[in-house]
Structure 1
């Protein structure tokens, strides 16, 4: 996805866990700017299409500075705005994984006019042609996810994830109906992670105060199913949001909340999965969404807990599998 230069070590300022940064550049036509790397044996992803980016250097005060420096050095490119999007992982030369902070930025220029100092060329591509390109599957999947968010935004159903600081699992939206004027209402699907530690306490995250939904409230680690299964979504969100690794075989469905959050709003089927085993310690990987993780006793949840989160925890403790909220 991006050039591997320096793994996280003591030389990096502030001991930040992400040592690399890349930029996902897109335009109004729905195209993405890709960088064709030199086909040199032993180099990082030789001969592949990837994002512009690289490793953090001692003079970089932040990963955004790293991303901007790499854009200037590799292509003479200056973007007015960069927005944190997600954290990906790439395989390093030592076999370990390296976290990469992904930023997004808009640009409408001609890549042929840029002064490319590394690699072979820059070119705009639409997501549908990328399966024919030589590129890392993780890069292709990253672009697919971002393009889907933009598509939903253009349809007016879900605001882009990085713009409103809310999880698509929680963002209320108007209820879409089937074509032809039918009365059937399509339901949104959200997935939620239920973790208990050795003391029986439950992991919750404090949502960012600027979130469009449930700002400054405690909530499950959650996400909205994209073009993927619920378990795949759960595993992906756990890693993206908190750095946790979960195997699908270690997960079981423990509760479902069928929810109407606002009068006339889209119904949502909120699925809560318990992971019996996991690896990693919860960390803040998307601080624009969650400002802190904490383990809470189920009988001592904070007052500012999302109502359906509280209802789900109560249902799990009572051995119930299903709860309805907001229908009456």
Structure 2
């Protein structure tokens, strides 16, 4: 995309359909995947941009175009890609090229990808992008998408500006209709989260207060947690405990405690939030990632702080009651059921004591 790229239009252009497609790829930490372009005679050489390219004769749709480009350039397969906006880019000769922007979630490690074009791929948070060599239009796309994503996750109504982008795409950043598969027939993948249930000698549970500007659950109490990448859930837990709080945990001391199968809002990507109990650990909780957590505190399970992430409370209550599993946010199977949460009991004993 070029420095002269115009703003996002509020309606699909009628005189010239898009012939190019780009992907706005984001993860659950609020970061966006950017591609460092080569210093060769191409648009915006040496700058950070979105992955994408032009439509080829065999492409039956622009969705096929972006999926082919992602596969060819980086070996990427994003199961859920939805139209987000149409961008009009202007080349140095004055030619205007409409670009269809697709948005989709992915939480992998870009260093493991087989990059065939450009220099590298890297995750960036929106607030650091003004320091990058990047077009204002790409920065604006990320800012708008991040604002809509934050609003969707927290139940806020989009602003009038964000609503215009929604009109352009005809879809929100997430598919809005719950189903077993996307419109293209691909399975909907579930995000896997690993959460630490840690009790001290007084029976208190460790919770962290999220930073007010956190992409998820700002100013809210939550487990020490992270999303699984190319790793097992226990490996993820051990890594996050070390990186976030300086706690050293032996995987042999970790046992499964509870799981919450969650849909935050209707149509968003499902999440399996797995909670593990560490019987032993070394170290005292420290603030090592102040942009995510600003305080660690111990709380009695019957006197949890507010505000607290709802599924965190549900998991702690489930563990205390000796349950292994909770569902939240899923459509009810029958009209006669009124509660949005279902639990499965396993007996009288607390699983962290077994």
Larger Rg: 2
